[in-house]
């Protein structure tokens, strides 16, 4: 079982993660939506597509842009569609 934790709060847990470039992408249904706030930030990856970000509120603090997803990934990254990954201090174990 993989888990994502930040500020002592479990954000996601699943036995079904997909690892891409050292990041674990959790199924969206495995992520606690109470800890995701939409962000206007986007970035572009040449092989995955356009990433959209979330701010992660947990334990009375916010971690800006600490989660991301690809709503319409390019064909080579199709396996991460419908999944969310974390960084910026979020522990994935």
CA dist 13 and 61 (Å) reads: 20
65: domain range? 2-92
* CA distances from residue 83 to 5, 8, 60, 88 in whole angstroms, order as listed: 16, 22, 25, 17
Q: How many domains does the chain have?
A: 1
Q: Decide: pTM greater than 0.85.
A: yes
In this prediction, residue 47 carries a pLDDT of 97
In this prediction, residue 37 carries a pLDDT of 98
In this prediction, residue 40 carries a pLDDT of 97
The number of beta carbons lying within 10 Å of the beta carbon of residue 30 is: 19
pLDDT in tens, 7-64: 999 999 999 999 999 999 999 999 999 999 999 999 999 999 999 999 999 999 999 9
What CATH number should be reported for the domain holding residue 29?
Answer: 2.170.150.40
In this prediction, residue 16 carries a pLDDT of 98
């Amino acid at each position: 079982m993989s888990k994502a934790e930040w500020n002592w709060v479990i954000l996601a847990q699943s036995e079904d993660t997909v690892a891409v470039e050292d990041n674990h992408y959790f199924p969206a249904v495995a992520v606690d939506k109470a800890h995701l706030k939409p962000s206007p930030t986007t970035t572009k990856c040449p092989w995955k597509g356009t990433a959209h970000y979330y701010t992660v509120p947990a334990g009375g603090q916010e971690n800006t842009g600490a989660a991301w997803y690809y709503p319409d990934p390019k064909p080579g990254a199709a396996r991460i569609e419908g999944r969310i990954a974390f960084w910026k201090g979020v522990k994935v174990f």
